Amino acid sequence: MPKLTREQRCFQVLSWMESLWPCGKPCVFKFPEYAPDSNGRPTKESKKLYGVTYRDSRKFLIYVSSKNCITKSSCIETLIHEYTHAYLWPPACVEFKRPEHGPVYWTAYGEIMDAFMEGGGSDESKNFPFERGR
């Protein structure tokens, strides 16, 4: 197996998560230098973020900062964090009253992280393709 880049390894992990915890709409993963704000451009504030997730009517957009996440493990942990947001958002663009990082979020994040770290997900995810359409 070739040595994978941080971005390639994240593609594998994303595919693994989508196979077990489907979101209801496609997730598009991006690996820019800095996470953008909701207008698509990095700002002073967004440059501090490790990652961010946005949604539109057709897809979720997950950004992981290549400048702030300098190791594979920090990229994967950030991707899992951001994917949990996508997983918990309803497929329709409906707003609801629930804390962004409340008990429901941490329960889902814990389930996914535990499956990855302790449940064999780290190895299982290596069987998924490391390239995908962007």
| 71-97 pLDDT tens trace | 999 999 999 999 999 999 876 555 556
Q: Which helix (H) or strand (E) holds 34?
A: none
pLDDT, residue 30, reads: 96
Confirm whether 134 is domain-assigned: no
Q: What whole-number distance in Å separates Cα of residue 14 and Cα of residue 27? A: 8
Confirm whether 24 is domain-assigned: yes
| 112-132 pLDDT tens trace | 999 999 999 999 999 999 886
Confirm whether 1 is domain-assigned: no
Confirm whether 133 is domain-assigned: no
Cα Rg, the chain, nearest whole Å: 14
Whether the Cβ atoms of residue 105 and residue 89 lie closer than 8 Å to each other: no
- pTM metric for this prediction: 0.91
Task: Say how many domains are in the chain.
Answer: 1
Confirm whether 130 is domain-assigned: no
Residue 69 sits in a domain whose CATH number is: 3.30.2010
Q: What whole-number distance in Å separates Cα of residue 50 and Cα of residue 117? A: 20
Confirm whether 59 is domain-assigned: yes
Determine the structural domain holding residue 46 and report its residue range.
Answer: 6-125
